[in-house]
Amino acid sequence: MLAFIARRLIYMISTLVLISFVGFLIINLPPGSYIDVFQAQRQLQGTHTAEAELEALKRRYGLDKPVPVQYWIWVRGFVRGDFGRSFEFNREVSELIWERLGFTVAIATGSLLFIWLVAIPIGIYTATHQYKLGDNVATIVGMAGLSIPDFMLALVLMVVIQRLFGFTVGGLFSREYVDAPWSLAKVFDLAKHLWVPIVVVGTSGTAGLMRIMRGNLLDILNMQYVQAARARGLRETTVVVKHAVRNAIHPLIMLLGMSLPTIISGSLIVSIVLGLPTTGPLYFNALRQQDMYLAGTFLMFLAFMLVLGNFLADILLGLIDPRIRYE
C-alpha cells in the first residue's frame, strides 16, 4: 500500500511537470504578450505609452527573455509558493487566487453535495421501480435538466426571482453587505444568494449522475448474487443497500475523482452570468488578457486537482473493493 502511494506520487509529480511545461508553452503560443494588450488599452483611453515605460515593464516581468527562460523563472518560484505576478492586477497570483478560493470551494462543494444527495437516492429509487410511474417522471425531469444549458437556467432563475420576490440573486451578497463586516445578517444574505448557483450547477449534474446510478444499479440487480441474497431470506432493503448499491457505486467514485477540478474552475459560465466572485471568471479573463502567470497557475491548479482526484478515487476504490490489490 505504501509502495503504491509512493509510486503514484512519483507519477503525479512527473505528470504535473509535463503539464506545466506544455501548458506554459500553449499560453505563450498566441502572438503578442500582455505588453500589447496593455498598450492597446492605453490607446483606447487616449494616452500614449512611452517606449521607455514599455521597456521597463518588459524587463520587470522578464518578457524580454526567451520562453524557456521565462518558464524556468516561473517554475522556480513554485517551491516557495511564489506563482509570479499578475500583470493586470499588479499583485501576487497566489494572493489573487486565495482571495476567491473560499467562495469557489463553498459553491463547488455545495453543488457536489447537492448532486450526490439528490441523484443517488433518486437513482436507487428509479432502478428498483423500473418503468413504474416514479421512474418515468424522474426520467423526464432528469432529461429536461440534462438538456437545459446551465447559463440559461441561471438567467431564467434570476428573472423569475426578480419578478416574483423582488430581489436580485446575482453575486453572493446584496449591495449593502458586500463591504460590511461578517454578521448573522450577512451570513443570512449569503445563504439567500448561494442556493442559486448551487441549484443551477447541480441540476445538470444531478440529471447525469441519476441516470448513471440507475443504469449501474439495474445491471447489478440482475446479478446472481443479488438473487442469492434474496433467496437467503434477507429483507429487500438489505439486499438493495448492502449487496446491490455498494457494487453499483464503483464507477461513481471514479467520476467523483474526475469532478474535483470543478472545485477550482467553479463552473465558469454560470459564475460569469451570475457575477460570482469565484476563480472561474478570473481564469477566463486571465486567458483573454494574456495574463500568463495567472492563467498558467490556474492551469496548474486544475491539473493538480484532476491528478489528485484520480489518486484519491483509486485509494477509495481499493478500500471498498477487496479485489483491487496494490502491487
Partner 1 sequence: MADRAETILEVRNLHTHFHTESGVVRALEGVDFTLNRGQVLGVVGESGCGKSVTAQCIMNMVPSRGRIVDGSVIYHQRNGQGTEAVEITALPPKSREMRRIRGNEIAMIFQEPMTSLDPLYTVGNQLLEAINLHQDVDRTEARALAVHSLDRVQLPEPERVFASYPHQLSGGQRQRVMIAIALSCNPTLLIADEPTTALDVTTQAQILSLMRDLQDETHMSIIFITHDLGVVAEMCDEVAVMYLGKVVEQTDIDTTFYSPKHPYTQALLRSIPRLEDDQDRRLEVIAGSVPDPSSIPSGCRFHPRCPDFVTGVCEQREPVLVQIEKDHQVRCHLYDETASSQPGTQP
Footprint of partner 1 (CB under 8 A): 130, 223-236, 242-243, 246-247, 320-323
Pick the closer one to partner 1 by CB: 143 or 320.
Answer: 320
Pick the closer one to partner 1 by CB: 181 or 322.
Answer: 322
Least separation in angstroms between CB 279 and partner 1:
38
CB distance 229 to 243 below 8 Å: yes
Distance CA 202, CA 193 (A): 15
Least separation in angstroms between CB 191 and partner 1:
39
Pick the closer one to partner 1 by CB: 82 or 321.
Answer: 321
Pick the closer one to partner 1 by CB: 52 or 133.
Answer: 133
Least separation in angstroms between CB 244 and partner 1:
9
CB distance 115 to 211 below 8 Å: no
133 φ, ψ (degrees, to nearest 5): -55, -50
Longest distance between any two alpha carbons in the chain, whole Å = 86
Pick the closer one to partner 1 by CB: 211 or 243.
Answer: 243
Pick the closer one to partner 1 by CB: 80 or 323.
Answer: 323
Least separation in angstroms between CB 314 and partner 1:
17
Least separation in angstroms between CB 246 and partner 1:
6
Distance CA 242, CA 20 (A): 43
Amino acid at 297: T
What's the Cα-to-Cα distance from 15 to each of 23, 136, 294, rounded to whole Å? 12, 44, 20
What's the Cα-to-Cα distance from 206 to each of 55, 101, 141, 199, 255, rounded to whole Å? 52, 24, 11, 10, 13
Least separation in angstroms between CB 218 and partner 1:
11
Question: Could you tell me whether strands 85-86 and 91-92 are parallel, antiparallel, or unpaired per DSSP bridges?
Answer: antiparallel
CB distance 212 to 252 below 8 Å: yes
